[in-house]
């Protein structure tokens, strides 16, 4: 138990950074208004009816965060135990099993969650800066007191009483659902590529990976046929999630580099012995 507490304390600063980025989206939602964009009277793209989302927020976080974390925790536990067993056979591993597993899982999860936060925060910054109207904007806003003589309307009032609903109706670009689901599933696909090895059933890896990508594709498509996003919103969200996942995997966690499992004390000792010439 003490080793696990020590592991969590060593990663405290990383968790603080994770919380700071997470709070950024909350600050935007509570204190910032999106860009006030007008509309064209003949714009059919914003005349769709309002529909309840097929993929709710809890379901989105299950797809983008909970499923990948559960899978990676199981994968790291099995992987670390196999390494420990191999090292113990030759007498080169003396550290606590629980501590090593905790270090591996903690490092992987906090990095994954930090990338998910970056994806969401970046998406929110773009949403509030652009202020693109959702396909169901007119149905939610119910604009009144406006003149269509010049075709483009930038002075109007919303007849709807829900301020939060009107605010949400101005946050179409890009799709946060598409960005976050793409990030979570691409991260998981690349993790599976590195960790899952079943020689006797070699198609199981691509089968699971394709299912992950189908899941994020469906999540994005629902945003279009539920009239919450335009197709370009979803496409941009996919690209954003993909880019952040690739950066986190290749530059931060570096899945595809040769990794060595060592206790934190051994890594610190090795790092302190490196001399810069």
Mean pLDDT of the chain: 86
* pLDDT reading at 65 higher than 70: yes
Domain assignments of the chain as residue spans, ordered by start:
55-132+173-256, 133-170
Nearby residues of 216 by Cβ (< 8 Å), 6 or more positions away: 63, 178, 181, 182, 184, 185, 186, 238, 241
Residue pair 65/182 in contact (Cβ under 8 Å)? The answer is no
Q: What is the pLDDT of residue 216?
A: 97
3-state per-residue secondary structure call for the chain: CHHHHHHHHHCHHHHHHHHHHHHHHHHHHHHCCCCCCCEECCCHHHCCCCCCCCCCHHHHHHHHHHHHHHHHHHHHHHHHHHHHHHHHHCCCCCCCHHHHHHHHHHHHHHHHHHHHHHHHHHHHHHHHHHCCCCCCHHHHHCEECCCCCCCEECCCEECCCCHHHHHHCCCCCCCHHHHHHHHHHHHHHHHHHHHCCCHHHCCHHHHHHHHHHHHHHHHHHHHHHCCCCCHHHHHHHHHHHHHHHHHHHHHHHCCCCCCCCCCHHHHHHHHHCCCCC
Q: What is the pLDDT of residue 8?
A: 60
Instruction: Give the pLDDT mean for 188-213.
Output: 91
Q: Which residue has the higher pLDDT, 78 or 185?
A: 185
pLDDT range class, residue 160, cuts 50, 70, 90? confident
Q: Which residue has the higher pLDDT, 215 or 97?
A: 215
* pLDDT reading at 58 higher than 80: yes
List pLDDT tens digits, range 99-157. 778 888 888 888 999 999 999 999 999 999 999 999 999 999 999 988 887 789 998 99
In this prediction, what percent of the chain has a pLDDT beyond 90?
A: 57
Answering whether pTM is above 0.85, one says: yes
Q: Which residues are catalytic?
A: 177, 229
* pLDDT reading at 178 higher than 90: yes
Cα(182)–Cα(92) distance, rounded to whole angstroms?
40
Residue pair 241/121 in contact (Cβ under 8 Å)? The answer is no
Select from 67, 157, 81 the least CA-distant residue to 112: 67
pLDDT range class, residue 274, cuts 50, 70, 90? very low
């Amino acid at each position: 138990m003490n080793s696990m507490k020590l592991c969590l304390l060593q990663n405290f600063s990383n968790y603080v950074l994770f919380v700071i980025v997470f709070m950024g989206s909350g600050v935007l939602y509570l204190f910032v208004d999106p860009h006030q964009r007008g509309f064209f009277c003949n714009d059919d793209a914003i005349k769709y009816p309002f529909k309840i989302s097929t993929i709710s927020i809890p379901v989105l976080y299950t797809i983008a965060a909970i499923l990948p974390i559960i899978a990676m925790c199981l994968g790291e536990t099995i992987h670390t135990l196999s390494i420990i067993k191999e090292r113990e056979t030759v007498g080169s591993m003396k550290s606590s099993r629980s501590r090593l597993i905790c270090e591996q899982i903690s490092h992987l999860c906090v990095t994954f969650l930090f990338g998910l936060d970056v994806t969401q925060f970046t998406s929110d910054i773009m949403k509030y800066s652009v202020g693109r109207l959702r396909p169901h904007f007119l149905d939610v806003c119910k604009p009144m007191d406006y003149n269509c003589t010049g075709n483009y309307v930038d002075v109007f009032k919303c007849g709807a009483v829900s301020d939060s609903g009107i605010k949400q109706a101005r946050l179409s670009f890009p799709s946060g659902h598409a960005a976050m689901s793409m990030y979570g599933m691409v991260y998981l696909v690349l993790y599976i590529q590195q960790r899952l090895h079943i020689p006797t059933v070699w198609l199981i890896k691509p089968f699971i990976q394709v299912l992950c990508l189908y899941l994020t594709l469906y999540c994005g498509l629902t945003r279009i046929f539920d009239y919450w996003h335009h197709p370009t919103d979803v496409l941009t969200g996919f690209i954003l999630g993909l880019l952040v996942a690739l950066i986190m995997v290749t530059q931060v966690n570096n899945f595809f580099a040769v990794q060595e499992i060592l206790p934190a004390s051994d890594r610190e000792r090795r790092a302190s012995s490196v001399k810069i010439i």
